[in-house]
Amino acid sequence: MLRYATLLLGLTLPLAASAGPVVTIGDGQVQGVADTSAAIFRNIPYAAPPVGGLRWRPPQPAVKWSGARDATQFGPACPQPPNSPVMMVGPVGASSEDCLTLNVWKPAAARNGDNLPVMVWIHGGGFFTGSGSEQQFDGAPYVSRGVVFVTINYRLGRLGFFAHPALDAENPSEPHGNYGLMDQIAALKWVRSNIASFGGDPASVTVFGESAGGISILDLMASPSAQGLFQKAIIESGTFAPQMRDIAAAETLGREFAKAHDADGPGAAAALRALPVETVAPAKPVAMDELGRIQAMSAPMIDGKTLAENVFTTFAKGRQAKVPLLIGSNGLEALVWLFLPNGKMATVPILPVDPALVLARLGPDKDRVVSHYSERFGGDMAKMAPAIAADMLVGAGTNFVADKTAASGQATYQYSFETAPAPLRDVTFGAPHGAEIPYVFGVLDRLRNVGPQTTEADRALSATMIDYWTAFAKTGNPNGPGRPSWPAHGAGGAVLAVTGKGPVVASGPADPIMTLFQQRLADLLAKSP
């Protein structure tokens, strides 16, 4: 569930300094930077630093300050393993446990009372890497379309998703385990309380994210604690297979970690909090086995409070937040693209793509599935295996969620992303995980030094996607003049196929193999906690 890598070139330059706009919020004043079109306010605390006794506690209110807080520079990322090709994530700069901050972009002239739509981006990175200040997450295209745009940090890895009986026993009435998800909820509460000061409408908030960020949106729609904090949702590549651990399983992993660091005896809670942050979230390159352990612990869990049940069960039962939903996935979600140290690009698996393993998972349906994909890929199993894995483990979940929200009466718009930026086309045969991000944020031209030049068709497609996303944030409907009509997902199964030649509406009889994969998902869900 890793989000694609980026070592984007042609980085965003800071806005030209002006008088430094000042906005008053609940905790004090913040002074940002602006040019004639936009103002940015960075590193605004939405919660107290989760350090010392607040490590592995729900986020607490931010500490008020006096005077105008400097909001001109991004704050540190939350602790995470360092950047490397293995991590598939671009540079995020310094990190610190004191990282619960957010960043706000607004139109320069926006004022309290303007009631502009708000979009809150939740970054991906497998729940153990990434930050809201990554250079590709540029709010400028949305601000230019009349949106107030927000990115956030949230606790990651073992600091964000961790359970141990001693921690749980300290404050039995509190939720436990899903601290990163609780952070996201706290950030949304901050938005509700403060965004009007930036010209935003707290009653028109769209949450959106990709990969772990998309999973987060799914979780927020299912969480009782997040209800009413947003009015629309966009999920990009966030519907991975439905297994979810419960808090008991998380506690088992937590005790294994504690024992390995002599912190599992009497006073385990204090001993765990006394561990150096580098022990919990390594600051140096890690071996693959340690990376695997971090990944295994870095995911939301069923804790009985923040998440009461498997989120797919929530959608199956129609208990999710009843808000308009825009949802989609990419054709090759089993592969992710990244930059290599030599500046070139490659695609690597993030899901099992070994043909033997993929075929083994198909069981008695193997011949039927292989025959279906052979028509698309000419029998090339090296291409068929990633496509099958992507549809089985992500695409089917996207269809499942879209079907359930549409059946609940929610306006639902589904897309299938089927292209990739020009510099990536030499190393992929489809749209790998994360391929939509440069289009969604209008940063295609920052790839210009790493391969074939971005085409005008790509730029036009990017503008169209941003227009769809913005219109949805404003009205709950992505449609508008100057772009193909996008019908709501419903009985006809309408899906917007985003191709290199532009968006095309696809509908008609359900794909029998995708229907098979959806049934497998339902069967797996029946066995899940």
What would the pLDDT profile of 428-444 be if each residue is shown by its tens digit?
899 999 999 999 999 99
- Inside any domain, residue 114: yes
Beta carbons within 8 Å of 445's beta carbon, 6+ residues apart: 10, 454, 459
| Residue 423 backbone dihedrals phi, psi, to 5 degrees | -65, -15
**Catalytic position from the list 123, 164, 433, 489:** 433
pTM over 0.75? The answer is yes
Average confidence score pLDDT of the chain: 91
Query: How far from the centroid of its chain's Cα atoms is residue 468's Cα?
Result: 19
Beta carbons within 8 Å of 206's beta carbon, 6+ residues apart: 117, 118, 119, 120, 230, 231, 232, 233, 234, 472, 473
Percent of the chain with pLDDT over 90: 77
Q: Are 90 and 134 in contact (CB under 8 A)?
A: yes
Q: Are 49 and 56 in contact (CB under 8 A)?
A: no
Domain limits for position 482: 22-53+82-353+389-486
Sign of CA dihedral 449, 450, 453, 459: negative
Please confirm, yes or no, whether 261 is among the known catalytic residues. no
**Catalytic position from the list 333, 416, 418, 436:** 333
- Inside any domain, residue 513: no
Please confirm, yes or no, whether 418 is among the known catalytic residues. no
- Range 262-283 burial, b when 16+ CB lie within 10 A, else e: ebbeeebbebbbebeeeebbbe
Q: Which two tokens stand for residue 415?
A: 């897309």
The string of DSSP codes covering 468-481 is HHHHHHHHS----T
- Inside any domain, residue 362: no
Please confirm, yes or no, whether 433 is among the known catalytic residues. yes
What is the structure's pLDDT at 442? Answer: 95
**Catalytic position from the list 211, 223, 225, 329:** 211
Residue 247 burial class via C-beta count within 10 angstroms: exposed 0-12, middle 13-18, buried 19 and up:
buried
What is the structure's pLDDT at 493? Answer: 81
- Inside any domain, residue 511: no
Q: In the chain, how many domains are there?
A: 1
Separation between Cα atoms, residue 192 and residue 204, nearest integer Å: 10
- Inside any domain, residue 527: no
Which tops the pLDDT comparison, 17 or 31? 31
Q: What is the rounded average pLDDT of the residues 36-44?
A: 96
CATH number at residue 468: 3.40.50.1820
- Inside any domain, residue 133: yes
Q: What is the rounded average pLDDT of the residues 208-218?
A: 97
What is the structure's pLDDT at 511? Answer: 87
Separation between Cα atoms, residue 374 and residue 456, nearest integer Å: 33
- Inside any domain, residue 65: no
Which pLDDT tens digit goes with each residue over 384-423? 999 999 999 999 999 999 999 999 999 999 999 999 988 8
What is the structure's pLDDT at 397? Answer: 95
| Residue 213 backbone dihedrals phi, psi, to 5 degrees | -65, -40
- Inside any domain, residue 11: no
Q: Are 90 and 339 in contact (CB under 8 A)?
A: yes
State the residue for tokens 């992303």.
417
Does pLDDT of 378 surpass 50?
yes
